[in-house]
Every structure is written in structure tokens, then in C-alpha cells.
């Protein structure tokens, strides 16, 4: 059982993005490719004598990657691996395991909501001992190592059986295979009012629930919580058998890719529907006739948390959102006199604030919602948070069934409404995307858009008040992240944001985020697309986006 040193050459482009290294499976399958990146992780974090957590969403190529990581980890002196049974751990479950068992860090095998299978995506991401994604300083180090690597260490052992719970030896390293779901259920039971939810669901059979796992990792978690713990019928679950290729679908919980859920909710008049993504960190809340934008979702949760959810009964430490997310949560923070933060895209920026005790609840417009119970966003947590809030709201008003739509409208009554939408232009040419960014950059530099007035076909007009790049200084460690998005702000408080995706596996993806606030009651029931029509027209006109990207329409609108 000797350690071998295998010589290798660097591969280009092993740069971890917003959420780890994501590439086509075929790229990871190249000889030495995965090995190089794993060795680069170990060279950067020095795991000698430490315990690491290992697991992922079970997508195609996961088994091979688990085996490779065990072999390279053993050769690099990792003392112990805690592995989810069959290599399965949702991203939030992995974050919890790292924290609960005080591991040194963890390796998560997922490309999140990207499609899986031999012709689609795989990903590897490293999380720190706080359970959160590695900060840029660490991922930069990994990337630098991938560029100079000449060899990796490996112990060539036959694959370990990870389908059985228990501890065994893998060369010099201990491997403990654990139940993928159990600790996570315990975690949520310590956060939410399960007796309240259970009694509400049992005494209100009209309040039916439908959870769609999109064939991602959350199926078994959802079954354990919704069926086994809360007593809902099996019919409350759909697409909850995890599949390595997600059944050929796109495991992203939004109106486009979770259309099965939307259809079922509308056809069967289901009051409460929800979905989660491939690795379980995203969520969508969708009630009959009521799509909840993620920006609104986190604001509603923040508004009710202290009153309805036991975990928050001591009060909120702070609230936060990523920069492109709408300001809905800011209004809640202001009303409650709670500190709030605006951070760059990506969950790692929230982690520092949580570790410093400054943040309780936060969210991203990209269907990410969570709290300081772990250091990742948490899809199932968000769904249960809504259930908890609705159970509580119904206890407060026993004579009328309070649903998702009522809760949203009440929220708008209290705080006003922020219309929000995101346009994604996926896999456009990097050249076109670069030109778009450069042109807007020039406007920002020269201030050439400021005070200009633009007319829309809706009869509205928008005057630019400010244009700038979003730069962020972390209030805790003072690290600076520059150029996190280009912002065009208008005099009525509306804004448009442009950013390049950091998670794409091919070409460039441009995201345009559009936001407009209203406290005109007549608009509270309006369709988002209608509310934003004029502003979107103006945004496209100002930037010349269609010409630069050679795309008439976005790939996805959320
Ligand atoms: C996207 C989202 C971002 C999210 C990230 C990871 O990043 O916009 O909000 O944090 O995905 O989510 P980008 O750089 O492509 O815009 V997940 O569920 O893929 O871990
Ligand atoms: Co995800």
C-alpha cells in the first residue's frame, strides 16, 4: 500500500467560480484532470491529520470522483473522511455535517442546478470548517496550484463500498459512512415548530402540499420531513427519486424548469407547492396563482421569523441580500430596526457576517434562501420556513384559510412591492459579452448616461440618476471584491444590474436584473412582466444588449 507520485501537466481553466469548479463531465473524465484539481485543493488547504466531509448530489460521475478523492486524500494524509451513504449529501446537509462534527472542511460534488449525465455538468467545491464555501483567497490559491502542478499523490486501492453505514479503513485513512438524511432532519426539528405544522396540516386537509425534488438530491430529505415527520401523504411528493441525470431535466427550481410543479399546483388547486434544485440549496415557493419571487420570499420569512419560528425567538442579528436581489428585505430590516447588508453574489459572502454574529436571515434572487443555522443556502429549510409561517398565520386567523397569495399581498400592504425579474442570456459568445460590459463600463466611467431621460412604450419615462460598479468591502475581514456588477439607477428608485455569471461551464452567460418599487396598491396584484415592461425596454435600449449578444430573447426569464 505505497503512496505513488504520478507525474502530470497543468490543465487550463481549473478556476473555481462562484461555487467551485464546474465543467462538462467529459472534461473531468480526461486522464489526470480530476486528480490534478483534487491535489490542488489538498495543496492549498493542507488536510494532513484532519477530518473531511465528502458527498454530493449523486449526479453522474460522482461515484468515480468519490473514489478518486479517497485515494488522493489517503495519500495526502487525511486522517478521516465522513462520507454520505452512496456519496449522497445535499449541499446544506454537508454544511451541517461539517459544523456538527467539527470537521476541518468538506468536498462537495455537485454542479448544483446544472443538468447532469455523461454530456452535461459535474462540479467539485471545497467548504471550510465553518461549513461555508471557501473564500476567494483560498480558491485563488487552488487555481494558482492547478497552473503549476507537476504531480499528484495517490494510493491505488480498490473502490470502497460506501453503500453501508459504518466505519472502515481505506489504507491509512478512516472512512465513516453516515446516513445522508438523519442529521439534517434533527437540525430542522431544532429550528421549526414541528408540532404546530403537524397539527395545522392534520386539521386542515384542504391545505394540500406538493414538493417537487426535480429528481435531485432532496427526494429522501423531503420524504423524511414531509411524509415521515409531518405525516403528509406520499402524494405530497413528486419527482423525488434522485437520478444521476435528473431524468434528463434541468434541476433548477424556477417557473421554466419546474413547470411540472407549476402545472400540478394549478391543475389540482394545490395551496402550497415548492421545489428544490439538484444539490438542495435552492428553492421555489409556488402557491395556487401565486409565484413568490425569491426576493419577496426572504423578505416574508424575515418579517415573520421572530414571531413564528422558534429558532429566531431571541431576535434577528441582522438581515442581508446579494446585490442583484431586490430591496424587499431592506424594507423589513428598516421597519424592524435591524442591521442589513448588501453583499456580492455567492453565498460565501454571507458566511463571514454569520460567523461574526451579524446575520440571521439572508437570500439571493437566484432562488437561494437561508439562515445562520448553516453556511449554505438551504432549499428544504426555506420550504419548511414557509410552512411554519403559514401554520402560524392560520393559527392567528382561524376563520379563514391563509394561503401564499394572502401572505404576499399582506406583505405588500405593509412594505410596498418590489417588482423583480432576471433575464439570462446563456452561452453567448464571450466576445459579445465582453463588448457589452466594456460599453457600459465606458458609460459608467464617463457618466454619459446620467440625467438622460428614456421613454418607454408604456408611457413611462425613466431618468438615469447614477451609474456605477458594485465594489464590496467585507465589514468583518475588510477583504475587497471589485467589479461585482454594473448598476444603472433611475431617479424613481428603479434600477437595472448587469453581471457575468461565475458558474457557467461553457461560453459566457450575461444576467440582467430589473427592479422597480411601487406603493401603488393597484399594482400589488399585477403580473411582474407587466409591471416591469417599460423598464426592461429602457434597459435593453440603453445597453444595446440585443445587438452585442446577437440574441433577440433571453434563454430564461425568472
Ligand atoms: C449563480 C447565482 C448566484 C448563486 C450561484 C450558486 O451564480 O446567480 O446567486 O449564488 O449561482 O448557486 P452566477 O455567478 O452564475 O450568477 V448554486 O445553487 O449553483 O450553488
Ligand atoms: Co444549488
Q: Check pLDDT > 80 for residue 506.
A: no
Catalytic residue (choose from 90, 112, 295, 297):
112
Q: Ligand 1: does its nearest atom lie under 6 Å from the Cβ of 296?
A: no
Which positions ≥6 away from 339 have C-beta within 8 Å?
317, 318, 319, 333, 358
User: What is the spatial distance between Cα 233 and Cα 172, in angstroms, rounded to a whole number?
Assistant: 46
Q: Check pLDDT > 90 for residue 277.
A: yes
User: What is the spatial distance between Cα 148 and Cα 142, in angstroms, rounded to a whole number?
Assistant: 10
pLDDT of residue 417: 95
Contact by Cβ (8 Å): 515, 419: yes
pLDDT of residue 527: 86
Domain 417-557 homologous superfamily, CATH: Alpha-D-phosphohexomutase, C-terminal domain (3.30.310.50)
Closest C-alpha to ligand 1, atom 19: 112
Q: Ligand 1: does its nearest atom lie under 6 Å from the Cβ of 92?
A: no
Atom of ligand 1 nearest to the CA of 18: 14
Which residues surround the ion ligand 2 when the cut-off is CB under 5 Å?
112, 277, 279, 281-282
The β-bridge partners of 516 are 419
Domain 184-415 homologous superfamily, CATH: Alpha-D-Glucose-1,6-Bisphosphate, subunit A, domain 3 (3.40.120.10)
Which positions ≥6 away from 367 have C-beta within 8 Å?
252, 253, 254, 277, 282, 283, 284, 294, 558
Q: Check pLDDT > 70 for residue 154.
A: yes
**Annotation says 7 is catalytic:** no
C-alpha distances in angstroms, 293 versus 255, 421, 511? 10, 8, 16
Q: Ligand 1: does its nearest atom lie under 6 Å from the Cβ of 345?
A: yes
pLDDT of residue 505: 64
Q: Among the bound ligands, name the one nearest to the CA of residue 280.
A: 2
Q: Ligand 1: does its nearest atom lie under 6 Å from the Cβ of 505?
A: no
pLDDT of residue 67: 97
Query: What pLDDT digit, counting tens, does each position of 67-79 carry?
Result: 999 999 999 999 9
Grade residue 43 by pLDDT with cuts at 50, 70 and 90: very high
**Any idea where the domains of the chain sit in the sequence?**
3-180, 184-415, 417-557
**Residue 11 class from Cβ within 10 Å (0-12 exposed, 13-18 middle, 19+ buried)?**
middle
Grade residue 513 by pLDDT with cuts at 50, 70 and 90: very high
Q: Looking at the predicted complex, does its ipTM rise above 0.90?
A: yes
pLDDT of residue 34: 98
Q: Ligand 1: does its nearest atom lie under 6 Å from the Cβ of 18?
A: yes
The total number of residues written for the chain in this structure: 558
Spacing, Cα 253 to ligand 1 middle (Å): 13
Output 219-224 pairs: Cβ under 8 A, ≥24 positions apart: 220/88, 220/180, 220/181, 221/90, 221/93, 221/181, 221/184, 221/185, 221/280, 221/380, 222/276, 222/380, 224/181, 224/184, 224/185
Spacing, Cα 521 to ligand 1 middle (Å): 33
User: What is the spatial distance between Cα 77 and Cα 270, in angstroms, rounded to a whole number?
Assistant: 52
Q: Ligand 1: does its nearest atom lie under 6 Å from the Cβ of 558?
A: no
pLDDT of residue 6: 96
Contact by Cβ (8 Å): 497, 512: yes
Q: Ligand 1: does its nearest atom lie under 6 Å from the Cβ of 277?
A: yes
Across the range 206-231, mean pLDDT stands at: 97
Closest C-alpha to ligand 1, atom 8: 366
Spacing, Cα 1 to ligand 1 middle (Å): 41
pLDDT of residue 552: 83
pLDDT of residue 185: 98
- Residue corresponding to grid cell 481549473: 14
Spacing, Cα 347 to ligand 1 middle (Å): 8
DSSP string of 252-301, one letter each residue: --STTTTHHHHHHHHHTT-SEEEEE-TTS-BEEEEETTEEEPHHHHHHHH
Q: Who wins on pLDDT, 50 or 492?
A: 50
Could you tell me the fold of the domain covering 3-180?
A: Alpha-D-Glucose-1,6-Bisphosphate; Chain A, domain 3 (3.40.120)
Q: In percent, how much of the chain has pLDDT > 70?
A: 99
Cell of 370: 437561508
Across the range 200-219, mean pLDDT stands at: 96
| Domain 184-415 in the same topology as domain 3-180 | yes
pLDDT of residue 198: 97
Across the range 428-455, mean pLDDT stands at: 91
Grade residue 179 by pLDDT with cuts at 50, 70 and 90: very high
Across the range 367-372, mean pLDDT stands at: 97
Amino acid at each position: 500500500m505505497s503512496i505513488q507520485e504520478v507525474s502530470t501537466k497543468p490543465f487550463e481553466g481549473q478556476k473555481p467560480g462562484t461555487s467551485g469548479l464546474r465543467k462538462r463531465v467529459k472534461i473531468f473524465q480526461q486522464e489526470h484532470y480530476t486528480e490534478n484539481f483534487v491535489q490542488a485543493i489538498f495543496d492549498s488547504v493542507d488536510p494532513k491529520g484532519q477530518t473531511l466531509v465528502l458527498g454530493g448530489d449523486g449526479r453522474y460521475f460522482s461515484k468515480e470522483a468519490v473514489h478518486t478523492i479517497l485515494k488522493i486524500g489517503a495519500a495526502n494524509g487525511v486522517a478521516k473522511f465522513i462520507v454520505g451513504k452512496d456519496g449522497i449529501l445535499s449541499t446544506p446537509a454537508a454544511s451541517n455535517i461539517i459544523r456538527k462534527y467539527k470537521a476541518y472542511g468538506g468536498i462537495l460534488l455537485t454542479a448544483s442546478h446544472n443538468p447532469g449525465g455523461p454530456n452535461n455538468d459535474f462540479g467539485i467545491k471545497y467548504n471550510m470548517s465553518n461549513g461555508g464555501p471557501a473564500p476567494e483567497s483560498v480558491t485563488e490559491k487552488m487555481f494558482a496550484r492547478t497552473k503549476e502542478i507537476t504531480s499528484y499523490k495517490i494510493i491505488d486501492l480498490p473502490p470502497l463500498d460506501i453503500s453501508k453505514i459504518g466505519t472502515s479503513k481505506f489504507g491509512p485513512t478512516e472512512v465513516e459512512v453516515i446516513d445522508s438524511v438523519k442529521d439534517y432532519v434533527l437540525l430542522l426539528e431544532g429550528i421549526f415548530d414541528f408540532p404546530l405544522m403537524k397539527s395545522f396540516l392534520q386539521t386542515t386537509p384542504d391545505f394540500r402540499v406538493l414538493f417537487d425534488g426535480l429528481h435531485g438530491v432532496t427526494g429522501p430529505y423531503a420524504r423524511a420531513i414531509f411524509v415521515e415527520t409531518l405525516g403528509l401523504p406520499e402524494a405530497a411528493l413528486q419527482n423525488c427519486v434522485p437520478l444521476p441525470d435528473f431524468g434528463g431535466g434541468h434541476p433548477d427550481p424556477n417557473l421554466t424548469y419546474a413547470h411540472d410543479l407549476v402545472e400540478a399546483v394549478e391543475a389540482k388547486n394545490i395551496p402550497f407547492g415548492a421545489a428544490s434544485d439538484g444539490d438542495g440549496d435552492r428553492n421555489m415557493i409556488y402557491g395556487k396563482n401565486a409565484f413568490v419571487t425569491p426576493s419577496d420570499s426572504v423578505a416574508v420569512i424575515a418579517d415573520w421569523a421572530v414571531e413564528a419560528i422558534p429558532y429566531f425567538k431571541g431576535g434577528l442579528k441582522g438581515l442581508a441580500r446579494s446585490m442583484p436581489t431586490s430591496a424587499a428585505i431592506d424594507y423589513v430590516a428598516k421597519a424592524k430596526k435591524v442591521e442589513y447588508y448588501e453583499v456580492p453574489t455567492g453565498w460565501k459572502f454571507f458566511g463571514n457576517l454569520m460567523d461574526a454574529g451579524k446575520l440571521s436571515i439572508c437570500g439571493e434572487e437566484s432562488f437561494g434562501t437561508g439562515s445562520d443555522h448553516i453556511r449554505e443556502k438551504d432549499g428544504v429549510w426555506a420550504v419548511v420556513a414557509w410552512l411554519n409561517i403559514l401554520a402560524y398565520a392560520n393559527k392567528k386567523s382561524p376563520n379563514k384559510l391563509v394561503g401564499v397569495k394572502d401572505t404576499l399581498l399582506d406583505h405588500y400592504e405593509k412594505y410596498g412591492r418590489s417588482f423583480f425579474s432576471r433575464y439570462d442570456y446563456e452561452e453567448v459568445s464571450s466576445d459579445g459579452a465582453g463588448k457589452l460590459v466594456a460599453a457600459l463600463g465606458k458609460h459608467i466611467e464617463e457618466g454619459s448616461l446620467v440625467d438622460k431621460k428614456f421613454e418607454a412604450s408604456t408611457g413611462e419615462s425613466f431618468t438615469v440618476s447614477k451609474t456605477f460598479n458594485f465594489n464590496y468591502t467585507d465589514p468583518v475581514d475588510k477583504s475587497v471584491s471589485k467589479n461585482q456588477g454594473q448598476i444603472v439607477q433611475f431617479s424613481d428608485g428603479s434600477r437595472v444590474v448587469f453581471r457575468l455569471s461565475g458558474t457557467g461551464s461553457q461560453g459566457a452567460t450575461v444576467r440582467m436584473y430589473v427592479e422597480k418599487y411601487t406603493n401603488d396598491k393597484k399594482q400589488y396584484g399585477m403580473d411582474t412582466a407587466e409591471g416591469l415592461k417599460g423598464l426592461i425596454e429602457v434597459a435593453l435600449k440603453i445597453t444595446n444588449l440585443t445587438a452585442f449578444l446577437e440574441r433577440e430573447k433571453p434563454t430564461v426569464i425568472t
